[in-house]
Amino acid sequence: MNSYETVFILTPVLSDDQAKEAVQKFEGELNAFGAKVKHSETWGLRKLAYPIQKKSTGFYFLVEFEADGTVVADFELMMKRDERVLRFLTVKMDKDHLTYSEKRRIRLGEKKPAASAEA
């Protein structure tokens, strides 16, 4: 099994609940395809570098998972067919990428409790 990372952008016309529902659907489909979702992040509503389908913002999400190569093809086909997805990119993670990702998750995990303690 290989490790992969997918970043995708959902259309900004969705509500927060609809965007979360879409992400849960994608994670559920990955599990149904036989993949193991390791981590997912919500990056929130961000400005796009250039307009896509006449939209200047979008909801960004990141999903890290372990799967066979055939799962990636099926997952990307599902993303292409979903009209809520503006763009997506799947990258196979090498050992350096995995190390960086793990360090980043630890660093983000440490920041979240500190931020909530100050508030």
Give the model confidence (pLDDT) of 8-33 as tens digits: 999 999 998 999 999 999 999 999 99
**Which residues contact residue 60 at a Cβ distance below 8 angstroms, ignoring those fewer than 6 apart?**
7, 8, 9, 42, 43, 44, 45, 46
pLDDT given for residue 111 in this prediction: 65
| pTM of the complete model | 0.83
pLDDT given for residue 115 in this prediction: 46
Q: Is the pLDDT of residue 40 over 60?
A: yes
Whether the Cβ atoms of residue 2 and residue 68 lie closer than 8 Å to each other: yes
Across the range 73-91, mean pLDDT stands at 94
Token pair 């440490």 is found at 110
Residue 71 sits at the vertex; the CA angle it makes with 67 and 75, to the nearest 5 degrees, is 120
Q: Is the pLDDT of residue 117 over 80?
A: no
Q: Is the pLDDT of residue 94 over 50?
A: yes
Domains and CATH numbers, the chain: 2-94 (3.30.70.60)
Provide the token pair at 115: 């931020």
